[in-house]
Structure 1
């Protein structure tokens, strides 16, 4: 165990002891308020006015108002399920009582009533109302944990979190792959049985798990300068689209963006996983354009991607802008059509990244920033939504903030989505979840992934990267690590 892991383990042990102490000290007797306040009570994290799925872990929080003691009631209708009274401002929800509340309130609202003892008087604050959706969210979330700078890239891992509890388990850590860079992971329609993980370094390669078999491939032929990196599964699970990128990182000594990442060149290829053969077309592979971040539609007959004019070493980074394109694909003949621009973001002084289509095929969500396509480093990046039926595009103001909104994925039903945001402090990206109304094309207020310790996000020093929702846990961890050490299989054109 390294020094950082030991420190974190001690930290979490102390938290567990503190939380247990607080729960044991809570009194469940109701109090009578002496006065009413018109001021909304502030919570951290902000779990006010949000919609929770009916299978989410307890959203523990801290009341950020000053006081000598705190009293909280949480319930639905005329029934109170949880009461917490303590001198501590943290509110820890008993999992069994929270689960009962979720079952009772599914499809309706819950209330949070808070009283604070201030100057010897109990002050009651306005009631908080949240919604419990009857629609569950996919119960697992996969993400990469990495330090937000560039110095400690060799300490990272890919982890899965059970969203119904707080349990987090490692899928693969780079200490298991000779400290290689765990670059990307992706799944076919939220299914852990068809997945991909890309690794850079001494044991670099692409791990592909499909139909119960795991293999390590080199997604590159001798005539290709760069190998496959950013990937997307065809809905059939047979084809895997990759962008082949030459990525350059720039470190700035001054200015608001300390790190900048850019493509020097990129193209798109498609791997036929049944034949280990690479497919492509001059329409999406060549020197005139840069194509990246592929994404299939649910029918599998259209491939969406981001495209920019090719650059040279003298091209200013802030002049590189990507438009949103798509190209027809015939899965039977494995042939491509003609590229079509569906959103010329560059004409509006914007740049597109991460196109992801909802499972019903009605909406395409993407990230929009001022230039480039590595939006995690751009504070101005925001989520946009394209209605594929009406072709209307709008800024998703209901979920965006004053800081970074970046990588996002849909749930398997399209009723939820998760995205990375740096809104909390501008440094670390955290996973936020939001309910999506497919009929209206709108989202609810997002909430950060619940943690057992309400102050978790104030002390955790790694960033959550590439959050992906899964319908079940990945169970082949040992098989993936073993495959990462096997000889790489080659592909052909």
Structure 2
């Protein structure tokens, strides 16, 4: 290749790149001030109208779902410099720097979005402004989640644990199962939205099954398969769900609850819960660590071994109650479980309990909705009364949710918009427990948001980055020896 050919090719590459950058950004006509009003708000995706957003969230980029050949969007508040975006493309890529300046100037206020569209005949329509409220309370800086293609076996697909920066669009891999010979990785968990204590489960047909613990930046590997996990706030005790092998076709997914004590490297069943005639599911500690809320249900077939139970019995749906077990960490003592919300009274299973960091609220899942329980009121009256939140329809039977460190934001996974693909949403919960319209986590490219084939679930909010790299975690799973654990394998008493 001679000098001229080489540099001609380079110039063409640069030109193509610039065309890609400015596609949709070419100069468009300015709408006249007299443009007639459409009388309605524009249709947009994601639907951010009438939502509440954190003052540190990434630009809520969207695409306008109205026909047209030119699109102008004005964003303004009572304070700060307005943002104007004029394009021949319906995508609205709000610039980051200008957006964050506008958010900072309008904390506790309202941003207004005005969309004006030109049709093919040259006429303009100015749509009614929609509003977005900016809360004063920040959301944690990072979101950790699991990404995979739904419906595919973990041995044949990519599964990644990822860490997203919520103030921008940086998204890094925490662990990729392709780095460890295709395995299942899941059930990441933290203490108090911090990364000082972290757990991450893995299942592999070569490297065996176990859990990675990250303690103060140091990695440990233990031969216990943590399912859904909750840490005691002190970081020494970890309660985890361990699924049992269940016959194909069974609807009653059998699992047990155990607790692992790091200081003694001991695993034990939780007395009163780990019984042959009971099923257990997820659990969560109270903020002070003195109570454990767990989903549990008596088996319709009692203590009969599952392999001896007729298939038509196994296929029935078993409703779960919410139980409370008191815990004394100093004496290592657990109380007998007491039912605090009965599935007979609600008519539905109670699953996935999560407590807010301020100790005020408990979220639970019933059918396709997340419910709020006022723990402060419950302790005063003795009644745990779930309140349905229509805004928190999940549309997904195993949807996960978690709280921000200040207790004002709830993040949850849901297939509410497509019925198939699970996305991650953020919703504001005010001090009185009023839940506001959820916000789909913003994407870098709004023109394709919601169209990728992945599911995004098990979202966890943290306020600091994970202190170990993807290489270190992969190396630990492949090469580290398992720590000895007293009581392993966990057995029922």
Show the counterpart of 1:215: 220
| Post-superposition offset of 1:261 | 6.4
Alignment of structure 1 residues 5-16 onto 2, 5 Å: none
Q: Distance in 1 between matches of 2:359 and 2:72?
A: 46
Show the counterpart of 2:391: 398
Distance 1:418 1:356, change over 3 A: same
Which of 274, 281, 300 is the matching residue for 2:289? 300
Alignment of structure 1 residues 182-221 onto 2, 5 Å: 182-201=185-204, 202-203=206-207, 204-219=209-224
Show the counterpart of 2:490: none
Task: Report whether the alignment pairs 1:161 with 2:148.
Answer: no
Greater share of strand residues, 1 or 2? 1
Task: Report whether the alignment pairs 1:389 with 2:376.
Answer: yes
Q: SS in structure 2 opposite 1:479?
A: helix
| Post-superposition offset of 1:247 | 5.1
Show the counterpart of 1:420: 413
Provide Cα deviations, 1:56-101, integer angstroms capped at 9, x if missing partner.
Answer: 1111111101112111100102755210111111111111110111
Q: SS in structure 1 opposite 2:365?
A: strand
Distance 1:331 1:169, change over 3 A: same
Q: SS in structure 1 opposite 2:417?
A: coil
Larger displacement relative to structure 2 (335-344 or 482-491): 482-491
Alignment of structure 1 residues 315-464 onto 2, 5 Å: 315-369=313-367, 381-390=368-377, 391-400=384-393, 406-438=399-431, 440-464=432-456
Distance 1:262 1:319, change over 3 A: closer
| Post-superposition offset of 1:458 | 3.5
| Post-superposition offset of 1:181 | 0.5
Q: Distance in 1 between matches of 2:19 and 2:211?
A: 43
Contact 2:24–2:88 under 8 Å retained in 1: no
| Post-superposition offset of 1:365 | 0.3
Contact 2:353–2:365 under 8 Å retained in 1: yes
Q: SS in structure 2 opposite 1:96?
A: helix
Q: SS in structure 1 opposite 2:228?
A: strand
Which of 136, 139, 145 is the matching residue for 1:137? 139
- The normalised TM-score by structure 1 is 0.86
Alignment of structure 1 residues 55-74 onto 2, 5 Å: 55-74=56-75
| Post-superposition offset of 1:316 | 4.2
| Post-superposition offset of 1:212 | 3.2
- Structure 1: give runs of 5+ residues left out of the alignment: 1-14, 220-226, 252-259, 370-380
Contact 1:146–1:157 under 8 Å retained in 2: yes
Larger displacement relative to structure 2 (340-349 or 311-320): 311-320
Contact 1:160–1:170 under 8 Å retained in 2: yes
Contact 1:382–1:405 under 8 Å retained in 2: no
Show the counterpart of 2:7: none
| Post-superposition offset of 1:473 | 1.1
Q: SS in structure 1 opposite 2:391?
A: coil
Distance 1:78 1:169, change over 3 A: closer
| Post-superposition offset of 1:158 | 0.4
| Post-superposition offset of 1:156 | 0.6
Provide Cα deviations, 1:424-451, integer angstroms capped at 9, x if missing partner.
Answer: 211110000001113x112111010100
Larger displacement relative to structure 2 (311-320 or 122-131): 311-320
Q: CA RMSD in A?
A: 2.2
Aligned residue pairs, count:
451
Q: Distance in 1 between matches of 2:424 and 2:286?
A: 24
Show the counterpart of 2:278: 289
Contact 1:306–1:352 under 8 Å retained in 2: yes
Show the counterpart of 2:232: 234
Show the counterpart of 1:9: none
Which of 468, 479, 482 is the matching residue for 2:472? 479
Contact 1:185–1:197 under 8 Å retained in 2: yes
Provide Cα deviations, 1:243-299, integer angstroms capped at 9, x if missing partner.
Answer: 221154868xxxxxxxx8641x32211111111112334301120111121210010
Which of 109, 123, 127 is the matching residue for 1:125? 127
Q: Distance in 1 between matches of 2:389 and 2:197?
A: 31
Contact 1:35–1:121 under 8 Å retained in 2: no
Show the counterpart of 1:50: 51
Q: Distance in 2 between matches of 1:334 and 1:404?
A: 34
Provide Cα deviations, 1:278-323, integer angstroms capped at 9, x if missing partner.
Answer: 2334301120111121210010011111001235443243421111
Contact 2:252–2:314 under 8 Å retained in 1: no
Show the counterpart of 1:224: none
Q: Distance in 2 between matches of 1:128 and 1:453?
A: 21
Q: SS in structure 1 opposite 2:259?
A: strand
| Post-superposition offset of 1:141 | 0.4
Alignment of structure 1 residues 19-58 onto 2, 5 Å: 20-22=21-23, 24-25=25-26, 31-58=32-59
Q: SS in structure 1 opposite 2:98?
A: helix
Structure showing greater Rg = 2
| Post-superposition offset of 1:490 | 2.7
